[in-house]
Amino acid sequence: MYLQGLKINWTNWANMSKISQDLLLQRAENEFLKGDYLNALRSYGLILEDYPALEEAKIGVYLSDLGIESEEEAQALFDYYQVIKSEKENAVDIIDGLIETLDSSKHKLEELLVKPIEEQIEYGDGIRYSDFKALVESRGSFKKTFEDIMFSTKVVITNKDEFIDFVKQLSNEGFDEMALGYLDASSSLFGDDQDILALYHVVSGAK
């Protein structure tokens, strides 16, 4: 009878623990989905204190930390994890690897594609893309503005959105070979980023 009672009590405790774990995860996930990444990070961290091996919480910490800087990527990876977590045993490793790839791509882009803005300004041979766009707007022609500066001034591109816009503008104005050159030099840094790969179709279609 005593052993049976212990078994029943253990089962009840395990069930209560599972319910508590699920409630904590649900709260953390809701915070994440609302974009409240700082609180989500705290919530997932608290869960790991009691359940240090819980993969859902580990992923939550990774993605909440990423979400503070890159919301779009964090939400996309969260959705992807929901798809693969029941299908692949190494789902956590896959997501962790994707996050590392994102960080590496951004770092390489800053190192290899973009000179530090301060250095460009110091030597007077660079113009921020936002300033270049303002110049284009004032002159009313991307092509003429770019032709005027292309041999004397570097256009300083600091993020993926600027790069995409720049390549599209080059293609639209007939600088197809130059646009392809930029793509070939940088596409490997973005891995299989679909936005970057789609630019090849944009440039090809403009011919």
8 A C-beta contact, residue 74 and residue 67: yes
Same domain flag for 122 and 103: no
Q: Which residues pair with 127 in a beta bridge?
A: 155
Q: Clarify whether residues 106 and 150 are in a common domain.
A: no
| Of 74 and 186, more confident | 74
Q: Domains in the chain: how many in total?
A: 2
If asked whether residues 61 and 142 sit together in one domain, one would say no
Pair (8, 91) in one structural domain = yes
Burial grade of 132 (CB within 10 A; 0-12, 13-18, 19 or more): buried
- pLDDT category, 12, cuts 50, 70, 90? very low
pLDDT, tens digit (0-9, with 9 covering 90-100), for 142-160: 888 888 877 667 787 777 8
> What type of residue sits at position 201?
H
pLDDT digits 0-9 by tens, 23-52: 888 899 999 999 999 999 999 988 888 888
Which of 95, 111, 127 is the last residue before a domain boundary? 111
Which structural domain range is residue 69 located in? 2-111
Q: How far apart are the first and last CA of the chain?
A: 84
Higher-confidence position of 89 and 11: 89
Residue after which a domain boundary falls, among 111, 128, 151: 111
Instruction: Name 126's bridge partners.
Output: 154
Which of 9-13, 59-63, 100-104 shows the lowest mean pLDDT across its residues? Answer: 9-13
Check if the beta carbon of residue 118 is closer than 8 Å to that of residue 204.
no
Task: Please indicate, yes or no, whether residues 90 and 175 belong to a single structural domain of this protein.
Answer: no
Last residue of a domain, which of 66, 83, 111? 111
Distances from the Cα of 55 to the Cα of 18, 34, 152, angstroms: 14, 21, 53
One domain, residues 138 and 103: no
Please give the pLDDT value at position 144. Answer: 86
Q: How far is CA 158 from CA 96, 110, 134, in A?
A: 25, 7, 16
Q: What are the phi and psi torsion angles at 154 (to 5°)?
A: -90, 140
